[in-house]
Structure 1
């Protein structure tokens, strides 16, 4: 079992002189998407693994308790029973890692997931911009936890990273972590707003030092969300933090991950950069909704030789 990251004192020497070779990062990321793809049973096995790492998400302005309940029903049974049987998974049918919703939707998700063992994750702290007063941001964590959330996805103040105010970012994330208590805390860096890969690396290191259990690429609301180059830099930061402290930090790409092929790229990145442990939901989460439908569609083809229409794999 992964030992939870307690955080460490802010140590700028671990990141202040960091350099990122952007062309090299871009080439490395491109290599992940151009190499020969996994095929047949190996692809199916990796897609089942990806399914188990999904934080099935709805963060829309028109969310309703009924919509959340339907999403939770899909979370309980992400794969049709005939496909479960065809893959030989009846003894341990797959389910997703968590369901992620707004704080006001947490009670509906908790009710719908009762007895499933699937935790409810809630965004908080002024999601997605993170620009509400700190007192209100922390109160939102309290509210989500009080309603039954077991995981909290917080957003950082981007201006701290853009202005290189690392002490302020550290104190902010540390306060959020303290408020989360026993709940898992995922720190959303909103990397599309951070402008440079060097800022992404530094913000990742500071968030981990402040006690983040997971670092997450995006809210899904930025103009640019999860990308492989950004994810590569974050994985290298996770590796450096582990080497310096011994603590393993989780990673969550989110936003724009829609196809099964995308999921395989991120699993490959995790396996090659961080190792086998990062192919499990303890250390890898994929924030997505449409992704699940395409994974199910690909697994249907593996079992039956036919592709079902996407509407046959609707989320809600």
Structure 2
């Protein structure tokens, strides 16, 4: 069994790993091998995680740092619409807001991506042409993940063919929770292959994983299978992106880079609605994974209503007074 060194190290200290399972080592690919490795990861102290995030969330942020944080958070937003009533017009409207979040201020940064269902990825791609804004599409029978692998892979290939350059997949939580780790691993590997050049974000749906230990194990399993990002939630299940969950995922990507040299991104999604929420997450990123992750390349917010609050707070810093909610467009 692969052992982690210093399992009692504090949250701010990276832990190293010797010879994790394939593809980074020669361990036989089996449920037993993955169980030995994943259950050998250090247990998460839930009380300690909650206490640490409470302390970090209480930090006071100076005005200049807040201005930087707001712009950084805006640049990290995956502006999202995932409703059954979505239309091409809905997506074009969202793309316009992604390009110019504040039409009255050209200095406002654009967002990182627009996230839609795969059948509308082509509309988003056309509307965002030449902007550098990514088109993310949810796939693999989002949000439940309840479909055959053949259907899931067809879903991914269709989204990529339509113009998505990022795929947000969901893992099979039933397989994970019953210990069928090899099934989960092989499915992520297959989706990674189906993505081609598109980046892969793996949604863990942490609200259904029950424990923080499972969040850590699922994060490692997704990264070992080739994820470019690990993502908390679909936004359809509560609880979603809590600070303790994000802390555990940030520790996982930090430790994974120390073990393998490969950097993986993190995307909290679901329930992040205010500037305070976003700033707290940025503090958590800096203090846990480090400043290397303070970039849209490595950290994203899955949100839509969050952007409006960021814009209102940005206008407050610029003008000295709050604008009404009618000063930002409705998503």
TM-score, normalized by the shorter chain, greater than 0.5: yes
Contact 1:208–1:249 (CA<8 Å) still a contact in 2?
yes
Change (3 A) 1:222 1:207: same
Which whole-Å CA distance do the structure 1 matches of 2:264 and 2:228 have between them? Answer: 6
Aligned to 1:95: 110
1:285 CA drift (Å): 0.9
Give the unaligned 5+ runs of structure 2. 1-21
Q: Determine the C-alpha separation between the residues in 2 that align with 1:264 and 1:233.
A: 18
Corresponding residue number in structure 1 for 2:147: 132
Match of 1:304 in 2: 319
Q: Which residue of 2 aligns with 1:113?
A: 128
Question: Could you tell me which of 75, 83, 86 is aligned with 2:98?
Answer: 75
SS in 2 for 1:135: helix
Q: Please state if 1:30 is matched with 2:57.
A: no
Partner of 1:292 in structure 2? 307
Give runs of ≥4 in structure 1 deviating > 4 Å.
none
Contact 1:7 1:208 survives alignment (8 Å) = no
Q: Which residue in the other structure is 2:19 paired with?
A: none
Aligned match for 1:215, one of 222, 225, 230: 230
Q: TM-score, normalized by length of structure 1?
A: 0.92
CA offsets 1:189-238 (integer angstroms, 9 cap, x no match): 00000011111110100000000000000000002111001111111111
What's the secondary structure of 2:114's corresponding residue? strand
> What are the residue-to-residue correspondences of 1:125-274 with 2, within 5 Å?
125-274=140-289
Q: Which of 1 and 2 has higher RCO (CA within 8 Å, sep 6+)?
A: 1
Cα pair 1:258 1:294 within 8 Å, conserved: yes
Cα deviation digits, residues 70-112 of structure 1 (max 9, x gap): 1100000012333x4xxxx4xxx51111100001211211121
Taking only aligned residues, the RMSD between alpha carbons, in angstroms, comes to: 1.5
Compared CA separation, residues 260 and 7, structure 1 to 2 (3 A): farther
Q: TM-score, normalised by structure 2?
A: 0.88
Secondary structure of residue in 2 paired with 1:81: coil
Separation (CA, whole Å) in 2 of partners of 1:177 and 1:113 = 24
| Aligned-residue offset at 1:167 | 1.4
Cα deviations by residue, 1:128-155 (Å, 9 ceiling, x for unpaired): 0000111000000010011111000000
Note the residue ranges of structure 1 that are not aligned, 5 or more in a row.
1-5
Alpha-carbon distance in 1 for matches of 2:301, 2:232: 10
What secondary structure, in the 3-state scheme, does the structure 2 residue paired with 1:226 have? Answer: coil
Question: How far, CA to CA, are the matches of 1:79 and 1:253 in structure 2?
Answer: 24
- Displacement of 1:40: 1.6
User: What is the alpha-carbon distance in structure 2 between the residues aligned to residue 242 and residue 15 of structure 1?
Assistant: 16
How many aligned residue pairs are there?
302
1:57 & 1:8 partners in 2: Cα distance?
34
